[in-house]
Chains A and B, each alone.
Chain A
């Protein structure tokens, strides 16, 4: 068990959660709650894997994964923005739909190996002593993409004009409408972008960070953990990234815990009783529940967090449809 190994593994696998979580934050800040992240990730993972296999080009696979997540999210957009359906149920059915589509179209892929997005050293930064070795050496390209997306998305949401429109539509759509902002168009756009990010997160599993297609086990509930992280991070990309990395580290720590025969001078129960490993496997899910609990408590105290119009369809007068 080595702290540096755990940290690096956390940065690597945490990137998957980070991408999905930031995508969902962007969607939710525009007032649309899309609970279909798991389905969009799975369809993204499948599309990336399949296209990477067919074209023998991982970058085309990546593009396909992103697009697949985005296109699927539009189904949720249509149902929740135009049809004003219950967004919770719509997101839930998006998960079913994405899972079903991914399983049907991904039939027979699991035995294949496909070209993957490479692991690289980051130019220049990798030569910084210690920090360079830990943060910028021998990571998948998408891990570095994750690094950059955190400040970029924060800056975009909080400091730019389109970012202000995005927040306005999520906080007070009728005021935004009266200022000439296209509420429906904006919501579609950011639902699509959130879907693309979820697709990217899925692709980052299947063709980059832990390559392979294991049908529905490929994502194993990470889409749901991402939604919990959004609440935990109070709709802010920076804590979302930290949460994602921490989760990645937790996963690695659980794995490493099974190795040594002795921990802190005590006989390691996880080494001697293999069945106790099931309790370790529960941990990410239990920790998610606890994180949600603490997140909701903090949000209550500070009276901030969720966008005011989150999950509420906007109806302009009697326009309706």
Chain B
């Protein structure tokens, strides 16, 4: 018995409809929540209760929503950097390590200290941002050089360097810069704190307890910058061409090695800036676990946003919600599970962009 309908796939010849990438991304999110719910039910929890709790923990109040934006901030800054690298098919997952290195370099400004701590706030913070960018950029440069000159797989080198960065950080916070033997540095002087909305609570009472800090502006700025590079610059065109068709790029005389290094440095610099924004805007000191896996989640954020820097922003907010809610609910791996399933579904759904699924009745076919 043959089934009465036949499902065939044909290669898409025409332009992809504009709404389709958005629809597949949204669909991926919805389905991954469903799958996670089923797995939760299997593991003995009540998925509806967990998800309701999830929603409340994330969007229940202005305070909670501001927490989400705070978590989304590093995701935006790192995520737009990922867009740049992934556009060239450089799969760097080293943002986690670059984030730590950026945080470390930025903290040196206060810890050494590199400038007198009675300098103007703007000077201290600018220097910290610069140091964060340098730290992240240098840490992106290493795998960039290895990839460009020795063709070493960047996925593995960046991952290994993530572990190295965490131990490097530990060495300093357990040792020289430890706060009386605790595994953290002393709290930074106020001069090294990024301004927060809560600072204005005296004038505008609504802002009291709102933790949103200036880092989010860095994120928006980075998104515009990377968008401009990708859409309107010669360099952006080279990156996209190299990603789509390396051979054509080579014959067009594009300096592929140089671009690999530059892309790694820029995406590293952004991850480093995110590290600086986190230590100056949120934790106000260097310590263990300053990152809630931001470097890894950003990879998924960039992919879910289809490598569009502006789309990174709403996706990062969604993932910020996942992180905020993930802190409060059991089981703790749930947000990881949802992220993994989502990424899987997003890349699977790309098949819908390349192929048209056609459902026909067998009868018609015979006629």
Q: Is A282 in contact with chain B by the CB < 8 A criterion?
A: yes
- Does A289 lie within 8 Å of B146, measured CB to CB? yes
- Does B93 lie within 8 Å of A282, measured CB to CB? no
Q: Is A190 in contact with chain B by the CB < 8 A criterion?
A: no
- Does B333 lie within 8 Å of A102, measured CB to CB? yes
Give min CB distance, B342 to chain A, whole Å: 8
Q: Is A281 in contact with chain B by the CB < 8 A criterion?
A: yes
* With known contacts A75-B344, A231-B153, A279–B160 Cβ distance under 8 A: no
In the bound assembly, the distance between CA atoms of A228 and B152 in angstroms comes to 10
Q: Which residue of B lies closest to A108 (CB)?
A: B331
In the bound assembly, the distance between CA atoms of A289 and B10 in angstroms comes to 43
Q: Which residue of B lies closest to A319 (CB)?
A: B9
Q: Is B170 in contact with chain A by the CB < 8 A criterion?
A: yes
* With known contacts A275-B174, A321-B355, A97–B167 Cβ distance under 8 A: no
A171-197 CB mask vs B (1 if < 8 Å, else 0) is 000000000000000000000000000
In the bound assembly, the distance between CA atoms of A253 and B161 in angstroms comes to 21
Give min CB distance, B333 to chain A, whole Å: 2
In the bound assembly, the distance between CA atoms of A35 and B152 in angstroms comes to 15
- Does A278 lie within 8 Å of B344, measured CB to CB? no
CB-CB < 8 A to B146: which residues of A? Answer: 289, 292-293
Q: Is B40 in contact with chain A by the CB < 8 A criterion?
A: yes
- Does B343 lie within 8 Å of A101, measured CB to CB? no
Q: Is A159 in contact with chain B by the CB < 8 A criterion?
A: no
Q: Is B171 in contact with chain A by the CB < 8 A criterion?
A: yes
Q: Is A89 in contact with chain B by the CB < 8 A criterion?
A: yes
Q: Which of A99, A104, A288, A293 contacts B331 (CB 8 A)?
A: A104
Q: Which residue of B lies closest to A288 (CB)?
A: B160
Q: Which of B286-306 contact A (CB under 8 A)?
A: 296, 299-300, 303
- Does A97 lie within 8 Å of B91, measured CB to CB? no
A62-87 CB mask vs B (1 if < 8 Å, else 0) is 00000000000001001100011110
- Does A89 lie within 8 Å of B343, measured CB to CB? yes
Give min CB distance, B199 to chain A, whole Å: 36
Q: Is B43 in contact with chain A by the CB < 8 A criterion?
A: yes
Q: Is B330 in contact with chain A by the CB < 8 A criterion?
A: yes
CB-CB < 8 A to A104: which residues of B? Answer: 39-40, 43, 331, 333-334, 336-337
In the bound assembly, the distance between CA atoms of A83 and B351 in angstroms comes to 6
CB-CB < 8 A to B174: which residues of A? Answer: 274-275, 278
B29-64 CB mask vs A (1 if < 8 Å, else 0) is 000000000011001000000000000000000000
Q: Using a Cβ cutoff of 8 Å, how many contacts connect chains A and B?
A: 160
Q: Is B115 in contact with chain A by the CB < 8 A criterion?
A: no
Task: Give the interface residue-count category, chain A.
Answer: 35 or more
Give min CB distance, B170 to chain A, whole Å: 5
Q: Which of B93, B157, B167, B354 contacts A292 (CB 8 A)?
A: B157
- Does A89 lie within 8 Å of B332, measured CB to CB? no
- Does B355 lie within 8 Å of A320, measured CB to CB? yes
Give min CB distance, A279 to chain B, whole Å: 7
Q: Is A88 in contact with chain B by the CB < 8 A criterion?
A: yes
Q: Which of B216-249 contact A (CB under 8 A)?
A: none
* With known contacts A275-B174, A296-B150, A85–B347 Cβ distance under 8 A: yes
Give min CB distance, A178 to chain B, whole Å: 22
- Does B9 lie within 8 Å of A107, measured CB to CB? no
CB-CB < 8 A to A102: which residues of B? Answer: 333
- Does A321 lie within 8 Å of B351, measured CB to CB? yes
CB-CB < 8 A to B163: which residues of A? Answer: 221, 282, 285
- Does A96 lie within 8 Å of B340, measured CB to CB? yes
In the bound assembly, the distance between CA atoms of A300 and B152 in angstroms comes to 11
- Does A107 lie within 8 Å of B330, measured CB to CB? yes
* With known contacts A100-B339, A292-B157, A293-B152, A107–B347 Cβ distance under 8 A: no
Given A97-B343, A228-B153, 13 additional A-B pairs, CB 8 A? A83-B347, A85-B348, A100-B338, A102-B333, A103-B333, A103-B336, A104-B337, A276-B171, A286-B164, A289-B152, A293-B150, A296-B153, A321-B8
- A-B interface, 10 closest residue pairs, ranked by CB to CB distance from nearest: A103-B333, A100-B337, A96-B340, A97-B340, A100-B336, A93-B343, A321-B9, A275-B175, A107-B331, A285-B160
* Chain B residues near A (Cβ < 8 Å): 8-11, 39-40, 43, 91, 93, 146, 150-153, 155-157, 159-161, 163-164, 167-168, 170-171, 174-175, 296, 299-300, 303, 330-341, 343-344, 347-348, 350-351, 354-355
* Chain A residues near B (Cβ < 8 Å): 35, 39, 75, 78-79, 83-86, 88-90, 92-107, 215, 221, 224-225, 227-228, 231, 273-276, 278-279, 281-282, 285-286, 288-289, 292-293, 296-297, 300, 318, 320-321
5 contacts between A and B (CB under 8 A): A103-B331, A103-B336, A275-B174, A278-B174, A288-B156
